[in-house]
Chain A
Amino acid sequence: MPDVRSSLSGNRLLDSISPEEYERLSAHLKRVSLSLSEVLFRPDERISHAYFPTTCIVSLLTELQDGSGMEVGLVGREGVVGISAILGGEETKVATVQAQGEALRIEAGLLREEFQQGGLLQRALLRYTHALMTQISQSVVCNARHNVEGRLARWLLMYLDRSDTNEFELTHEFMANMLGVRRPGVSEIANRLQERGLIRYQRGRVTILSREGLEALVCECYPIVKEKFESFLL
């Protein structure tokens, strides 16, 4: 009964596993509400939980010593936050809730045990890990090569793909980290998209007015990464 299951879970990765696996896993899943700017984990912390977002969106950020940083990945209902729970090794990123909403939470150790059972869950998690690697890799390329408007369009479209609304809170600080610019420069960049009629940006709130317009402006990185996530985002 995949339909019933998907409406229960709301997370695409979990929806791709077998009913038996989901049944077993669901005993350990707890639905939690996550609020804007909540930090799920920081570098070098032992990961206590992994999160399967259903309606929230979580940003993965790599921080520098001076406290500045850059967003390298975005996780929504297509994926899982805290992949190092399965891979082992240290977490090196900061995971911050960027759009408030719900997620299914599981203890890291329990997820690892389920992963080790093999099956569809293991395959889905491995495939997702690789898609996440692609997303981060593309940020390496994008940050070296592409202009800031194209990059902003990319993040906004990534948001849109993971959300049911075309309106998000986007603080200056977060936008600065998304684009790797200083905070005072953020308004000007957002204005450039606003002047083209693509978005409205007011008091830290973005409304997307033209998806087509953003797609025309976005750098090539967006379709490349989207293709890798397609099986999860559909």
Chain B
Amino acid sequence: MATKSIAVPGERARAASTTPKRRWRINSDMLIAFFVLLPSILAVALFIYTAIGWTFYISTVKWNSQIIDYTFVGLRNWSRMFSDNRFYADLRNLVYYAIGFMSQCIIFGFIIASLLDQKIRGETLFRTIIIFPFAVSGIVTGVAWRWLMQPTTGINLLFAKIGLENFQPVWISHPDYGMWAVTIATSWQFTGYVMALYLAGLRGIPQELREAAAIDGAGTYATYRYIIIPLLMPVTFTAIVLTGMNSIRVFDVLASMSGSGPAFATDTLAFFMYQSTFGAYRYSLGATIGAFMILLSAFLIIPYLRSMRDEVER
């Protein structure tokens, strides 16, 4: 059936209950649905899939200066990318960043959501305060944290004031740990969003389950360990996919915070792509990096879509 991939669960159930022999006919509902969806389908096809296709195409041509050159060169840009040390530095940074960013967002997001879920007074206020950084643009976050992490001012000044004169990290400009420092800033921005996801999930857990657990003698730890955390697995999964995607494409915070950093300490694939394209005018190399990022994202998004489908079918 042509509409299978976008069928909603209700429709699918109805389709299954009707006799399979019935002929597929266009009725007015379908026509209306089609025309209502048409603008979105066209927009998505044009601005997303055509652009993706174009990116892959540009990655196979010789356009590596400001003079547009569509000479086909096969996989030469790809082999160029794979032979570049910067690319491997970026992959390493991606791993660092993903670990730091995802774990901070998910752990702190969950802890804060659990605390807010304790029916405390002023919950709305705290919720707003914590989710607020998510409303701040990445550029603003980057600039603000850049100053906070300036070794001679910002946070280090606070450390010095409380007697930690000898603890003066260089944060983002550290050649080895710079990337971890960056994740502090980006997690600060994104934790509120993960918190909101978890809070919604926590509110969806029936009170009876907790009560039942309490009656069975489960303490707080056991309740979380055996009831709440397993029930929140779908939320955690969503949070992993969202923060994972974010890790691959992170650009704005980094660009305004540290750029590529000392010897690529805080370089990312997205920044490499940007600099190759608009700094060195290597359009095809930039497109190749972009295409690689799309493939990398697909590894995350396809299992996610699969599981969503399984979820729906369940």
| A and B: interacting chains | no
- Chain B: residues with CB nearer than 8 A to chain A? none
- Chain A: residues with CB nearer than 8 A to chain B? none
